[in-house]
């Protein structure tokens, strides 16, 4: 009988001395039992701890190529990291290690190991290894991309996904998107028969859409083409710096010297947008201050963010630094990514004329030639959506996603992944894996017509927007923007190369994938009446 039961079922003793004697005996036995249980628990915990430590010690690091002292594998990195990592995977296996200065780099090239990282150990890998260029671009890493996993990140995610980029909010600013797309079509109509840089026009359209949704601004008139090139070059330079291997990231003791000048360059580029943010915020605060009734209230993201900041309801409040960092995320993350996807899609369809024909035939049936594309049409365009999915399969816009960083040493695929390592998920290689895809290098939208794959990241054969807690916050907006603009371009014009030109779809690596050479095409109007272009 346990000591507790002995106390509960004590008989009635006529002699109080005997009673205390019995109680003393029971309490002594109880103390011995508790001590024994405590020691057993401590001993068991110690055994488990030692087992885990020994298990980690005996689990090797993933295989990988030999490096040189101090620098490791850094001198041998190919600028086209996505293809370089893929080739290493063919030699060393689906998970491999590179020694990058003082930092361990882990490359994952297979869907089942990606699942272990992004699903089975999602919380452990929910942090980022923030590069110095990222800190310089986003106010010290105060944005949703680089902020560590925790209350601050959850607050930013809630603001973005549940409020700013929700379907309801996106519906409410549709007219802003529509206006900018129609402006682009009118501009291209005036350029009909002459060459057009598709990437630049796509970028400026998306840039105007994003800035319109942020604070109502856009670029029009004669300055359109010039500013398209300037803004696109700035964003492109920033994303290139974010994806460039930086000595400061791999040797923290050398970071203050900024040996490659990457941080300096980023600090020269980022203020171009910061000045715009400051101007828009000051103007909005001045308007609100002059009109307490808020009859001039704007229906845009900046107004929403200012109201969230002012309300301060969250235990983790939105600061002005957070606000500007989110604006930077929208401008950097929402422009180049969408416009590059559109450029790749157009290039693949020019290279595969039968695909282009099928997409335009679908648009003719759903929209007609006496009408213009509206955003509600995209729900009735399964083939065009398959074109977008196949484009993102072959050319995932973030080929290595945003690198993850484990918060503790973890076992993945029977290998030790050290705490603080930089983990690259090579989605570019996974989505071209010959064991997972039939004719993986062929552009074939039909493979997506069965509706089997979506953008949720639940299937680790196809997750161009990432998976788990740190997947892309702007999926809904990206899907709407790419499909709406792509549908409008294909419906409004026929497109062809200049005489004598041959279509080659070649990639240039960066944290954002892009075309190696600009896509230059000639548009020809195809709608029934010129008024449809106004």
pLDDT 10s digits, 62-103? 999 999 999 999 999 999 999 999 999 999 999 999 999 999
* 218-to-64, 118, 207, 209 alpha-carbon distances in Å: 49, 38, 8, 8
The band of 230, judged by pLDDT with boundaries at 50, 70 and 90, is: confident
- What is the arrangement of strands in the sheet containing 422-425, beginning at the earlier edge strand? 95-100, 103-108, 422-425, 404-405, 127-128
CA dist 478 and 460 (Å) reads 20
Better pLDDT: 324 or 32 = 324
Query: What average pLDDT does the structure give for the chain?
Result: 88
Q: Is the pLDDT of residue 6 over 60?
A: no
Q: Is the pLDDT of residue 507 over 90?
A: yes
- Above pLDDT 90, what percent of the chain? 66
The band of 215, judged by pLDDT with boundaries at 50, 70 and 90, is: confident
Instruction: Lowest mean pLDDT of 208-217, 276-285, 428-437, name the range.
Output: 208-217
- Residue appearing with tokens 């039961």: 5
Do strands 127-128 and 410-412 pair parallel, antiparallel, or not at all (unpaired)?
unpaired
Q: Is the pLDDT of residue 127 over 50?
A: yes
Question: Can you give the three-state secondary structure of 269-292, one letter per residue?
Answer: HHHHHHHHHHHHHHHHHHHHHHCC
The band of 304, judged by pLDDT with boundaries at 50, 70 and 90, is: confident
Q: Is the pLDDT of residue 5 over 50?
A: no
State mean pLDDT over 497-520: 93
Helix (H, G, I), strand (E, B) or coil at 218: coil
Specify whether the CB–CB gap between 487 and 377 falls below 8 A.
yes
Q: What is the pLDDT of residues 19-62, one digit of tens each?
A: 445 545 655 665 565 556 655 555 655 656 555 555 555 789 99
Residues of the chain with CATH 1.10.630.10: 74-533
Q: Is 30 exposed, middle or buried (0-12, 13-18, 19+ CB in 10 A)?
A: middle
Q: For residue 400, give every residue at least 6 positions away whose Cβ sits within 8 Å of its Cβ, in sequence order, or none.
A: 81, 82, 85, 424, 425, 426, 427, 428, 511
CA angle, residues 307, 310, 311, in degrees to nearest 5: 85
Q: What is the pLDDT of residue 1?
A: 46
Q: What is the pTM of this model?
A: 0.86
Specify whether the CB–CB gap between 377 and 490 falls below 8 A.
no
Q: What is the pLDDT of residue 333?
A: 87
Q: What is the pLDDT of residue 243?
A: 86
Q: What is the pLDDT of residues 162-212, one digit of tens each?
A: 778 889 889 988 998 999 999 999 999 999 999 999 999 999 899 888 888
- Above pLDDT 70, what percent of the chain? 85
CA 79, 80, 85, 88 torsion-angle sign: negative
Length of the chain (residues): 534
Specify whether the CB–CB gap between 130 and 153 falls below 8 A.
no
CA 496, 499, 501, 502 torsion-angle sign: positive
The band of 106, judged by pLDDT with boundaries at 50, 70 and 90, is: very high
Report how far Cα 346 is from the mean position of its chain's Cα atoms.
Answer: 22
Q: What is the pLDDT of residue 294?
A: 47
Q: Is the pLDDT of residue 148 over 60?
A: yes
Specify whether the CB–CB gap between 414 and 59 falls below 8 A.
yes
Q: What is the pLDDT of residue 491?
A: 97
**Residue among 176, 213, 221, 174 at smallest CA distance from 331:** 213
Instruction: Lowest mean pLDDT of 184-193, 216-225, 234-243, name the range.
Output: 216-225
Better pLDDT: 293 or 142 = 142
The band of 221, judged by pLDDT with boundaries at 50, 70 and 90, is: low
Report how far Cα 498 is from the mean position of its chain's Cα atoms.
Answer: 35
Q: What is the pLDDT of residue 233?
A: 86
- Domain 74-533 carries which CATH code? 1.10.630.10
Q: What is the pLDDT of residue 279?
A: 87
Better pLDDT: 526 or 290 = 526
* 496-to-121, 209, 502, 507, 522 alpha-carbon distances in Å: 48, 26, 10, 20, 5
Q: What is the pLDDT of residues 464-478, one digit of tens each?
A: 999 999 999 999 999
Q: What is the pLDDT of residue 218?
A: 64
Q: What is the pLDDT of residue 295?
A: 45
State mean pLDDT over 477-489: 96
Q: Is 469 exposed, middle or buried (0-12, 13-18, 19+ CB in 10 A)?
A: middle
The band of 397, judged by pLDDT with boundaries at 50, 70 and 90, is: very high
Do strands 196-197 and 520-525 pair parallel, antiparallel, or not at all (unpaired)?
antiparallel
In 100-166, alpha helices (H):
111-115, 132-137, 151-157
Reading the block at residue 65, the tokens are 């190529």
Q: Is the pLDDT of residue 344 over 50?
A: yes
Q: What is the pLDDT of residue 528?
A: 87
State mean pLDDT over 123-131: 95
Q: What is the pLDDT of residue 173?
A: 85
Q: Is the pLDDT of residue 8 over 70?
A: no
Q: Is the pLDDT of residue 219 over 60?
A: no
């Amino acid at each position: 009988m346990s000591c507790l039961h002995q106390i509960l079922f004590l008989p009635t003793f006529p002699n109080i001395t005997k009673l205390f004697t019995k109680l003393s005996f029971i309490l002594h036995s109880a103390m011995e039992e508790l001590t024994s249980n405590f020691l057993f628990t401590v001993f068991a915990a110690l055994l488990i701890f030692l087992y885990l430590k020994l298990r980690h010690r005996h689990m090797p690091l993933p295989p990988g190529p030999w490096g040189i002292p101090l620098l490791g594998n850094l001198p041998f990195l190919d600028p086209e990291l996505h293809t370089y990592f893929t080739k290493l995977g063919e030699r060393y296996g689906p998970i491999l290690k590179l020694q990058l200065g003082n930092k361990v780099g882990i490359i994952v090239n297979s869907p089942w190991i990606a699942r272990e990282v992004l699903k089975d150990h999602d919380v452990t890998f929910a942090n980022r290894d923030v590069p110095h260029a990222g800190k310089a671009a986003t106010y010290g890493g105060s944005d949703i991309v680089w902020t560590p996993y925790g209350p601050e990140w959850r607050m930013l995610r809630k603001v973005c996904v549940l409020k700013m980029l929700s379907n309801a909010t996106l519906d409410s600013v549709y007219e802003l998107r529509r206006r900018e797309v129609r402006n682009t079509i009118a501009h291209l109509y005036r350029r009909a028969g002459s060459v057009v840089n598709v990437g630049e026009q796509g970028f400026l359209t998306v840039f105007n859409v994003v800035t319109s949704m942020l604070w109502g601004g856009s670029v029009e008139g004669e300055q359109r083409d010039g500013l398209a090139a300037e803004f696109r070059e700035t964003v492109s330079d920033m994303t290139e710096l974010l994806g460039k291997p930086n000595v400061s990231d791999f040797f923290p003791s050398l970071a203050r010297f900024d040996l490659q000048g990457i941080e300096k360059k980023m600090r020269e580029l980022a203020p171009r947008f910061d000045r715009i943010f400051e101007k828009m915020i000051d103007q909005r605060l001045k308007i609100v201050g002059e009109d307490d009734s808020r009859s001039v209230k704007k229906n845009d993201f900046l107004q929403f963010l200012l109201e969230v900041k002012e309300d301060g309801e969250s235990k983790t409040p939105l600061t002005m630094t957070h606000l500007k960092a989110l604006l930077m995320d929208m401008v950097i993350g929402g422009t180049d990514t969408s416009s590059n996807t559109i450029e790749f899609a157009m290039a693949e369809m020019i290279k595969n004329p039968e695909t282009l024909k099928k997409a335009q035939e679908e648009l003719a049936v759903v929209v007609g030639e006496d009408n213009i594309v509206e955003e509600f049409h995209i729900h009735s365009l399964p083939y065009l959506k398959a074109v977008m999915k196949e484009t993102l399969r072959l050319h995932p816009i973030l080929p290595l996603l945003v690198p993850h960083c484990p918060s503790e040493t973890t076992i993945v695929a029977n290998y030790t992944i050290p705490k603080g390592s930089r983990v690259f998920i090579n989605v570019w290689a996974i989505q071209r894996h010959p064991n997972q895809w039939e004719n993986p290098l062929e552009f074939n939208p039909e493979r997506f017509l069965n509706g089997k794959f979506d953008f949720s990241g639940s299937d680790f054969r196809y997750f161009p927007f990432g998976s788990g807690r740190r997947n892309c916050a702007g999926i809904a907006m990206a899907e709407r923007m790419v499909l709406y603009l792509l549908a409008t371009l294909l419906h409004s014009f026929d497109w062809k190369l200049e005489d004598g030109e041959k279509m080659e779809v070649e990639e240039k690596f960066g944290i954002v994938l892009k075309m190696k050479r600009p896509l230059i095409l000639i548009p020809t109007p195809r709608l029934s009446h010129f008024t449809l272009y106004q």
